[in-house]
Amino acid sequence: MNAPSRQPDDLLSELQCHGVRWQDQSTGLSRRGGAGPSDHKALTLGAHTAMVPVLNQASLDSPYEARPSSDGDLALIFREGRQVGQVEIPGVPKFYARSTADGIPYWKIATLHSRDVLATTLLQHCIRMNDAATSCQFCAIGQSLAAGKTIARKRPEQLAEVATAAVELDGVKHMVMTTGTPQTRDRGAAILCEAAAAVTAAVDLPIQAQCEPPDEDSWFQRLKDSGVVSLGMHLEAVTEPVRRKIMPGKAEVPMSRYFEAFEAAVEVFGRGQVSTYILAGLGDPEDAIAEMSERLATIGVYPFVVPFVPIDGTPLAHHPKPDNALMQRLYPRIGASLRRHGLHSDDIRAGCAKCGACSALKHHE
Ligand code: SF4
């Protein structure tokens, strides 16, 4: 007999933390490696879509199992043999079938995230990635390149071509441009400007850029002038011991620099259009995450708190899975900060916090 279906938010949050054992790995849209939500599938329940881990080791011991339908549009979710829900699986985007004139498949240039976000990593290389003394231990940026699933550098004209097709064929609504951090002092801001200018010249698509704080705050206006409408600068961890342990290279950028950059960026992009990723489950205490979120929201920065999901092939592949109980305590606290300071994901013009699929925070705003 089927168990009663759970509330969509509860079930998606559970699946996001535990992962799902997927019966048929060939079905639907998923990807392995890369920046952002790797080893995930986008699953939709009611009006909500969440990126759920299905390909990593951690999901193999999940109490949840998905049995996809034969046409791959739906999957039934079971826990201990009892059905607890049913999710929709988005089809393969139409733009994935196309290639550039020089034969590069569009899906190697940008991918669909969640239901309507086009995402790309401009530079699939980072100054910190090849040295354990500097690399971010959660990051899988080199994996998809090594696996031939992407190209090392996405040129502005390639992005303009793919973005145009993704809007026309699949109705994408906004775009996330992230980048591995290059050697240059601008931390990638210059290539983000070039790419954003090319995309906005070709198609009407709001763009979020993501980078480390650049050397000069004048980059924020240049990014805006190039068509970027919102900006992400990602703390990832909020306390110094966790920063130094998990991301020793990036931790060399002091928190004080992040806060200077946040304030300067909010001046340019406006309150709520600047955001940061915070990975819960890496060791930061719950109170530290809640307090940092309040501090960020006070200055107009949206704290996008997501459960950290271990990715295979990274040093943290066997890190404990995120604790859904921790997330369920954190979300309402951060939601209260967002309300107190008038921040809402729907007001964000583009980017991860607008998409929200890597977290259940949206449902607690
Ligand atoms: S929240 Fe960001 S990384 Fe996650 S699916 Fe959405 S666009 Fe991609």
In a domain, 246, yes or no: yes
3-state secondary structure of 43: strand
- Kindly state if the Cβ of 210 falls inside 6 Å of ligand 1: no
**pLDDT of the residue at 8:** 57
CATH number at residue 141: 3.20.20.70
**pLDDT of the residue at 24:** 65
In this structure, are 229 and 136 located in the same domain? yes
- Kindly state if the Cβ of 355 falls inside 6 Å of ligand 1: yes
Ligand 1: distance of its center to the CA of 131 in Å?
Answer: 27
Q: Per-residue pLDDT tens for 153-179?
A: 999 999 999 999 999 999 999 999 999
The H or E element that residue 141 is part of is helix 141-146
Ligand 1: distance of its center to the CA of 98 in Å?
Answer: 23
Closest listed residue to residue 315, CA positions, set 360, 282, 276, 350: 282
In a domain, 2, yes or no: no
Ligand 1: distance of its center to the CA of 358 in Å?
Answer: 6
The H or E element that residue 178 is part of is strand 174-178
In this structure, are 291 and 159 located in the same domain? yes
| Count of the separate structural domains present in the chain | 2
117-121 and 174-178 strand pairing:
parallel
- Kindly state if the Cβ of 117 falls inside 6 Å of ligand 1: yes
In a domain, 189, yes or no: yes
**pLDDT of the residue at 350:** 98
In a domain, 247, yes or no: yes
Question: Where among 65, 88, 111 does a domain terminate?
Answer: 88
**pLDDT of the residue at 6:** 53
**pLDDT of the residue at 46:** 85
In this structure, are 57 and 195 located in the same domain? no
Query: How does DSSP classify residue 105?
Result: B
In this structure, are 104 and 128 located in the same domain? yes
Whole-number Cα distances in Å, 299 to 262, 266, 322: 8, 8, 28
In a domain, 12, yes or no: yes
Residue 355 CA: which ligand 1 atom is closest?
A: 6
Tell me which residue range forms the domain holding 269.
94-364
Strand partners, 228: 207
Give the integer Cα–Cα distance in Å for 266 and 300: 7
Q: Which residues contact 103 (CB under 8 A, 6 or more apart)?
A: none
The H or E element that residue 207 is part of is strand 207-210
In this structure, are 140 and 283 located in the same domain? yes
Whole-number Cα distances in Å, 204 to 120, 167, 227: 17, 8, 10
- Kindly state if the Cβ of 30 falls inside 6 Å of ligand 1: no
The best mutation among 176, 304, 345 to test binding of ligand 1, ranked by most ligand atoms within 8 Å of the C-beta, falls on: 176
Ligand 1: distance of its center to the CA of 212 in Å?
Answer: 17
In this structure, are 98 and 209 located in the same domain? yes
**pLDDT of the residue at 33:** 46
In a domain, 3, yes or no: no
From the CB of residue 1, how many other CB atoms can be counted at a distance below 10 Å? 4
In a domain, 196, yes or no: yes
Question: Where among 32, 58, 88 does a domain terminate?
Answer: 88
Give me the residue label for tokens 């890597």: 358
Query: What is the longest distance spanned by two Cα atoms in the chain?
Result: 62
Closest listed residue to residue 319, CA positions, set 2, 1, 19, 8: 19
Residue nearest to atom 3 of ligand 1 (CA): 36
Is 27 within 8 Å of 68 (Cβ atoms)?
yes
Whole-number Cα distances in Å, 133 to 128, 141, 233, 251: 8, 16, 22, 11
The answer to whether the pTM exceeds 0.75 is yes
In this structure, are 19 and 158 located in the same domain? no
In this structure, are 109 and 31 located in the same domain? no
In this structure, are 108 and 56 located in the same domain? no
3-state secondary structure of 81: coil
**pLDDT of the residue at 28:** 45
In a domain, 223, yes or no: yes
In this structure, are 25 and 154 located in the same domain? no
In this structure, are 124 and 53 located in the same domain? no
Amino acid identity, position 347: D
**pLDDT of the residue at 58:** 75
Per-residue pLDDT of the chain (365 residues; tens, 9 = 90+): 344 445 656 888 899 999 999 876 554 444 444 444 447 889 998 888 999 988 777 788 899 999 988 887 899 999 989 999 999 988 899 999 999 988 999 999 999 999 999 999 999 988 888 888 888 888 888 888 888 889 999 999 999 999 999 999 999 999 999 999 999 999 999 999 999 999 999 999 999 999 999 999 999 999 999 999 999 999 999 999 999 999 999 999 999 999 999 999 999 999 999 999 999 999 999 999 999 999 999 999 999 999 998 888 888 888 888 889 999 999 999 999 999 999 999 999 999 999 999 999 999 99
3-state secondary structure of 111: strand
Question: Where among 88, 109, 136 does a domain terminate?
Answer: 88
In this structure, are 58 and 167 located in the same domain? no
